[in-house]
Amino acid sequence: MNKKVKKQFKKRPCYFCLESIEYIDYKNTEVLEKFISNHGKIHPSRLTGTCSRHQRLLSTAIKRARIVALLPFVAERVRK
């Protein structure tokens, strides 16, 4: 019998809860870039470990920073 075993993983602690940050500022691009992939996508909370409250605040801050042109919508392609 081949039974699939689910992999148990330990949930990462929320970065913003540990640093006791209540408001995520859209102008702080150094922090926001940690939660964006190379292609410009927002990382899900299961990868970053952020709690649901801070994930919602984080996504709105990233979207605001994109509109003000502090962060790119899509990463630039490298042509060969």
- 36 and 71 in contact (C-beta within 8 Å)? yes
Q: Rounded to an integer, what distance in angstroms lies between the CA atom of residue 55 and that of residue 42?
A: 10
The answer as to whether 19 is a domain residue is no
The answer as to whether 50 is a domain residue is yes
pLDDT in tens, 47-70: 999 999 999 999 999 999 999 999
Q: Which domain holds residue 55?
A: 31-75
The b-or-e profile of 22-34 (16+ CB within 10 A means b, else e) is eebebeeeeebee
Please give the tally of structural domains in the chain: 1
pTM: 0.80
The answer as to whether 37 is a domain residue is yes
The answer as to whether 8 is a domain residue is no
How high is the pLDDT of residue 1? 65
Give the helix ranges, DSSP H, for the chain.
Answer: 15-18, 29-32, 45-48, 52-67
CATH of the domain at 39: 4.10.640.10
The answer as to whether 2 is a domain residue is no
The answer as to whether 36 is a domain residue is yes
